[in-house]
Structure 1
Amino acid sequence: MTDRTHPTTDSPVLDAAAEFDRQVRTLVALGYPALSGRTEEEFAELVAPLRAEAVAHAGDPGQEYDAAASGRVPFVLVVARELAPIERTMSLTTLHGGRLPGFVDRSFEPGALERFVATEEAAPPSPDGVHLLFDVERGDEFCGVVPGDAMATVAERGRTPLTIEEGVALLTQVPRILVKNKCFSLGGSRSGDRRVPAIWISQKAPKLGWCWEGNPHTWLGMASAGGRRA
């Protein structure tokens, strides 16, 4: 049984099938089936078709990944907020080796979080609420870069910024991705104003907050991905 507080950490060598199974076990152990109104068996059936996609598109078998050092992850299984509300899923995250639950910052005024929706470029590909995010980067090179400029560079490279749900999924599956001075913005979710959501460390726990698109932070990069599949 996967520990609810400390999900199994990522393997340094990629075995896509085993990693997909681990991610499913992590979500089950954290209670995602109940959050989505399903039994564990029904939840497993919902995500099962994505296993073949993970194996086919995750990258070279045996390729090494060190999330904390490189800020890179081959793929992440994402559950949409329609199935698992962000306020609940964020509270299920922890730092690597930590026990304090993640939280949504009070700078999100009532109703604000619901207005942060996926941009056209970052729209989820699946109507059933689950998808895979591939070739994920924490975006350390964008620490100290104005978020608006970082998002433009990401787009020029044919990549896509992460949504809030995808950022929470990344942290849930790979807690070691979030480390001091290497946190990340989630430019794939916007609310029509200058705010850009981000996840960083506060009070020894992960925090979902936001920063202005024109304000750079030396400890905040721009997370991105190579693509999504459903």
Structure 2
Amino acid sequence: MPETTHATSAVLPALPALSAQAERLIELGVHELAGLPAVELRTFAAAAEAPAGGESALLAVHPDQAPASALAPLLRRDGKAGFVVTDMPDVDLFAPLDTVVLPDAPLYLLTGLDRGDQMANWSPNEALPALTAEARTPLLLTEGIHWVMQQPAVLERNHCFMTIGSRLRKANGALDARTPALWISNGTGRDGRERRNAPKVGWCWAGNRHTWLGFASATGRRVQNL
């Protein structure tokens, strides 16, 4: 495996309470994108709320209900809206890997989130088996977007992340070599200067390494507290 650039991932602020996360999604109109009444998000969050001192979790909407192309523009950084790179028009065709099992529900929770800073300068092909060996599941692109929606500080220069749980399959069944990621635009090239510092959904090759990209993962997904 490649040499790691950090011993562990940075300690990030705690996620908001699930009730606050539900209100954030409602404020952004995610419930309307997903075709869900606001009361359903509030009820789910209230039922799944962790007790004081309990494990925090991220509230996510199933990607079938709210695709990445609709969620990305809701991201904000320095007052600028998020966007998907122009050479990723098929972003919504990136689906969960066969090893990633999603709850059969419109709303679910992710636990034990980690940005994967310790894997910076690894390639996606190297990181995936390592995460699997640690019993961690890679985040989907939509899950990564939800994380940044609720905790914008998770996306910072030189410490952004890939979401390799989402991949595109070619007609022959092989995986497309692109792997999705979330980072901050420099406002160069086709991004446009007006998008400098905006949150960006892009992609990297599965065999390439980047010193500024970790690999976001979680310990699991569930629909309610056990």
TM-score, normalised relative to structure 2: 0.80
Question: Which residue in 2 is equivalent to 1:61?
Answer: 53
Change (3 A) 1:207 1:155: same
**C-alpha distance in 1, partners of 2:81/2:13?**
25
Deviations 1:188-230 (A, max 9, x none): 0011212111001002111111101110000001000000001
Aligned to 1:28: 26
Is 2:145 aligned against 1:162? no
2: CA distance between counterparts of 1:137 and 1:37?
A: 29
What is the match of residue 196 of structure 1? 179
Correspondence 1:82 to 2:64: yes
In the alignment, is the contact (CA less than 8 A) between 2:119 and 2:214 conserved in 1? Answer: yes
In the alignment, does 2:44 pair up with 1:49?
Answer: yes
Identity %: 37
- After the TM superposition, list the runs of 4 or more consecutive aligned residues in structure 1 that deviate by more than 3 angstroms: 11-14, 49-54
Aligned to 1:143: 120
Deviation for aligned residue 1:54 = 4.2
> Is 1:123 paired with 2:123?
no
Given candidates 163, 166, 173, the residue that maps to 2:150 is 173
RMSD of aligned residue pairs (Cα, Å)? 2.1
Provide the C-alpha distance between the structure 2 equivalents of 1:148 and 1:198, rounded to a whole number of angstroms: 14
Per the TM alignment, residue 62 of structure 1 is displaced from its structure 2 partner at its CA by: 7.3
Residue of structure 1 in register with 2:205 after alignment: 212
Note if contact 1:54-1:132 (Cα within 8 Å) is conserved in structure 2.
no
Q: CA deviation at 1:119?
A: 1.1
- Once the two structures are superposed, residues 152-186 of structure 1 have per-residue CA deviations (whole angstroms, 9 ceiling, x without a partner) of 11000000000011011001110010000000000
Give yes or no for contact 1:91–1:103 (8 Å, CA) kept in 2: yes
**Separation (CA, whole Å) in 2 of partners of 1:145 and 1:196:** 13
Residue 8 of structure 1: aligned partner: none
1:120 is paired with a residue of what secondary structure?
Answer: coil
* Aligned-partner Cα distance in 2 for 1:89–1:198: 14
Structure 1: gaps (5+ residues):
1-10, 64-73
| Residue type at the aligned position of 1:26 | R
Cα–Cα, structure 1 residues 116 and 133, in superposed 2: closer, same or farther, change >3 Å? same
Aligned-partner Cα distance in 2 for 1:189–1:46: 24
Runs of 5+ unmatched residues, structure 2? 1-11, 169-174, 186-195
Matched-pair contact (CA < 8 Å) for 1:24–1:44: no
Paired residues in the alignment total 196
Per the TM alignment, residue 51 of structure 1 is displaced from its structure 2 partner at its CA by 3.9
Please give the alpha-carbon distance, in whole angstroms, between the structure 1 residues aligned to 2:14 and 2:160.
23
